[in-house]
Amino acid sequence: MAARKGRSRTCETGEPMEAETCDPGTEGPSQVYLPGRGPPLSEGEELVMDEEAYVLYHRAQTGAPCLSFDIVRDHLGDNRTELPLSLYLCAGTQAESAQSNRLMMLRMHNLHGTRPSPSEGSDDDEEDEDEEDEEEQKPQLELAMVPHYGGINRVRVSWLGEEPVAGVWSEKGQVEVFALRRLLQVVDDPQALAIFLRDEQARIKPIFSFAGHMGEGFALDWSPRVPGRLLTGDCQKNVHLWTPTEGGSWNVDQRPFVGHTRSVEDLQWSPTEDTVFASCSADASIRIWDIRAAPGKACMLTTATAHDGDVNVISWSRREPFLLSGGDDGALKVWDLRQFKARNGAACSATCMGRLLSPC
């Protein structure tokens, strides 16, 4: 979260400043910076992250840039309140050369909360205690890497019963599925991790791959209701359905879902219906599909101009019939799916329930 002091956070000197001045000696109350609200940034002014806005804040470096990551669910539950915390992340890199990319499993643990700075005038004993506390509260990171040829556009993790898997969209035009059990095991065991990095990592291969998209893509989503059911969408406007089969494989329907006219940017399964999913595209539309129909007739509801430009991301509410979308126009919109009127692919004007930063 970025913050400003008064109206702005910093000036050309790099020091905090008041609302209308650049006086390093004064500060106004901290305010959250919201795009579109308040005065624009001044020339030479920059936003500064305010750690006081967070209960917990940590950073980790992965070397090459990561365009996508996903949290791996563990046995610790969703309602975690006691510090220190831990989490598992699966991420993929987009390195400069295809051979330098990695699929990574990260275990971050001993994550303590943000703490106020020590008070001035503390005695030596208190300073020693603070140093000991800082040492004990250092965050820890274990990392297991698997070589991957080609940059990774999107990573999504799911569980097939007791087996964790990752769907990986590659810039080389393939979608692969990797088994993650071994990676999860070694990040929990330093000795096993050393053996893995020395002897095993180069031998890890995908358990399934599909090259039928004929080009790269970014859209990918595992069904939260039917284990192993997967959707993948590409930059050629096509969406394919993956159905799990016995033996740990998949049947990928070669017939794409037809409807979008440009790149499919994101896909989301319904959290309440086994056969329903939503898609968004660079053609500015959002579409609702039902896989019980033939792929050429599966588009049931459409809003053709959801945004003024590309629709980049969608997220389906797990509790209400709402869909959140974000686009190149800088807007976030909340859609009430009960207001989608048309069927069989006909265009309709869905009602925008709310819009961040500017009215509908």
153-199, pLDDT tens digit by residue? Answer: 999 999 998 999 999 999 999 999 999 999 999 999 999 999 999 99
Taking the C-alpha atoms of residue 190 and residue 181, their distance in angstroms, rounded to an integer, is 16
pLDDT at residue 77, rounded to an integer: 80
List all residues 6 or more positions away from 80 whose beta carbon is below 8 Å from its beta carbon: none
Q: Examine the pLDDT at 25 and tell me if it is beyond 60.
A: no
pLDDT at residue 358, rounded to an integer: 30
pLDDT at residue 319, rounded to an integer: 87
The DSSP 8-state label assigned to residue 199 in this structure reads: I
When pLDDT is averaged across residues 223-251 and rounded to a whole number, the result is 95
The DSSP 8-state label assigned to residue 119 in this structure reads: P
Q: Which residues pair with 93 in a beta bridge?
A: 66
pLDDT at residue 128, rounded to an integer: 62
pLDDT band at 24 (very low <50, low <70, confident <90, very high): very low
pLDDT at residue 356, rounded to an integer: 31
274-317, pLDDT tens digit by residue? Answer: 999 999 999 999 999 999 999 999 999 999 999 999 999 999 99
Higher pLDDT among residues 128 and 2, named by residue: 128
pLDDT at residue 75, rounded to an integer: 82
Q: Which ranges of the chain would DSSP assign to H, the alpha helix?
A: 124-136, 181-187, 190-195
DSSP-derived 3-state class of residue 138: coil
The DSSP 8-state label assigned to residue 7 in this structure reads: T
Q: Which residues pair with 184 in a beta bridge?
A: none
Find out whether 280 and 312 touch, Cβ atoms under 8 Å: yes
Q: CA triplet 75, 79, 80: central angle to 5 degrees?
A: 80
pTM, two decimals, is 0.81
Q: Examine the pLDDT at 255 and tell me if it is beyond 50.
A: yes
pLDDT at residue 347, rounded to an integer: 34
Q: Please tell me the total number of residues recorded for the chain in this structure.
A: 360
Average pLDDT, rounded, for the chain: 83
pLDDT at residue 79, rounded to an integer: 81
Q: Which residues pair with 2 in a beta bridge?
A: 49
The structure tokens 């090459």 sit at 64
41-78, pLDDT tens digit by residue? Answer: 788 888 888 877 888 899 888 889 999 999 999 888 87
Residue 233 exposed, middle or buried by CB count within 10 Å (0-12, 13-18, 19+): buried
The structure tokens 């709402």 sit at 322
The structure tokens 């086994």 sit at 274
Q: What is the dihedral of CA 20, 21, 26, 32, to 10 degrees?
A: 40
Other beta carbons within 10 angstroms of residue 59's beta carbon come to 5
pLDDT at residue 40, rounded to an integer: 77
Give the phi and the psi of residue 8 in degrees, each rounded to 5.
-145, 155
pLDDT band at 349 (very low <50, low <70, confident <90, very high): very low
DSSP-derived 3-state class of residue 78: coil
Q: Examine the pLDDT at 7 and tell me if it is beyond 60.
A: no
Q: Are strands 230-234 and 217-222 parallel, antiparallel or unpaired?
A: antiparallel
List all residues 6 or more positions away from 40 whose beta carbon is below 8 Å from its beta carbon: none
